[in-house]
Chains A and B, each alone.
Chain A
Amino acid sequence: ETGVTQSPTHLIKTRGQQVTLRCSSQSGHNTVSWYQQALGQGPQFIFQYYREEENGRGNFPPRFSGLQFPNYSSELNVNALELDDSALYLCASSLTSGVTDTQYFGPGTRLTVL
């Protein structure tokens, strides 16, 4: 059984560009959540997808958007990148969307915005 994988590992973009990050959920999991972890901070909840629908959202602007595909893999898209978007982006999958379900995290994508 493979765990949660994310690609790419590292990414460098310039301000104003757009970026797409990818996540493959653990086998059998239909829910994926995305987090932003700035340096020295805890992860901040961006949003959650359950069966291809957004199921919850944190305090992030609309330029942060996502997709979940029928195979439950997921994308995080960020438009009009800002310097403050530099962070580690983590995705986590869980068996269902319940808040009590254990989330299994991927290793993250390190995004640097210049």
Chain B
Amino acid sequence: AQSVTQPDIHITVSEGASLELRCNYSYGATPYLFWYVQSPGQGLQLLLKYFSGDTLVQGIKGFEAEFKRSQSSFNLRKPSVHWSDAAEYFCAVGAFSGTYKYIFGTGTRLKVLA
């Protein structure tokens, strides 16, 4: 069965520090992978997506993610975090198994210390 795991429920980093949010997926075929950000009271905003090709994907707001098939991972990174990055981050996989389905992880809440 398809699934997405985000092992870190909360992460706290200092402003200016680097960030890595982990995501592992389970899916039999080539996955379509996404990272979304959700700020309080807001809907989800797409940061980046991976379908094929270069395994390092660049997104908005200075984020990037690397697809590693051997590790079934799609970790999100940012070299220098800004206070405005404090939010909840969701990894998702798009799957087709007779019907279209999108599966989200449980999210990682990021806190940024000034």
Contact = CB atoms under 8 A, between A and B. Distances in A.
Interface of B is mostly: strand
B90 A45 contact: no
Contacts of B42: 107
Contacts of A42: 4, 6, 90, 92, 104-107
Contacts, number: 61
Given A99-B96, A99-B102, 6 more contacts: A42-B6, A43-B90, A58-B101, A102-B49, A105-B45, A107-B41
Interface string B85-114: 000001010111001111111110000000
Interface in A26-67: 33, 35, 40-45, 48, 55-58
A56 B77 CA distance: 32
B83 interface: no
Interface residues of A, number: 26
A111 interface: no
- Pairs A-B, 5 closest by C-beta atoms: A105-B43, A42-B104, A56-B100, A56-B99, A99-B94
Contact of A99 (B44, B46, B100): B100
A100 interface: yes
Contacts of B102: 33, 35, 45, 99, 103
A57 to B, nearest CB: 6
Contacts of A43: 44, 90, 104
A26 to B, nearest CB: 12
